[in-house]
């Protein structure tokens, strides 16, 4: 997989792919990745309403919004230098694998 936990990503398709009026993209941090299913949970993306019963953890119960998993093919890594979603390449410099932006060369794992 080209994305990992704690990466900042941008959605390229679906209901979360919109930008605001100023043109800045909506970004989110990856909370969990499911490589065998090809899905990831992203903070603030793919929100669904969940009806919960009363419990000790949630004494009132009610409707809670929570993030659901979405397909990794709809996500791109966000480059802070390019200010957009970018494709990544892997370079094997310095004895390890480093993910780099294909456009500007920004290293994500450094």
Q: What is the pLDDT of residues 28-76, one digit of tens each?
A: 999 999 999 999 999 999 999 999 999 998 898 899 899 999 999 999 9
On average, the pLDDT of the chain sits at 88
Burial (CB < 10 A; 0-12, 13-18, 19+), residue 4, is: middle
pLDDT number for residue 21: 67
User: Which sequence spans correspond to the domains of the chain?
Assistant: 8-81
- For domain 8-81, the CATH architecture is Roll (2.30)
């Amino acid at each position: 997989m080209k994305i990992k936990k704690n990466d900042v990503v941008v959605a390229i398709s679906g209901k979360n792919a919109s930008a605001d009026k100023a043109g800045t993209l909506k970004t989110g941090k990856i909370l969990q990745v499911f490589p065998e299913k090809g899905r990831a949970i992203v903070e603030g993306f793919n929100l669904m309403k969940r009806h919960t019963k009363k419990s000790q953890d949630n004494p009132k119960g009610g409707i809670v919004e929570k993030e659901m998993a979405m397909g990794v093919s709809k996500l791109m890594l966000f480059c802070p230098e390019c200010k957009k979603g970018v494709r990544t390449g892997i370079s094997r410099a310095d004895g390890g694998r480093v993910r780099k932006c294909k456009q500007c060369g920004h290293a994500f794992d450094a």
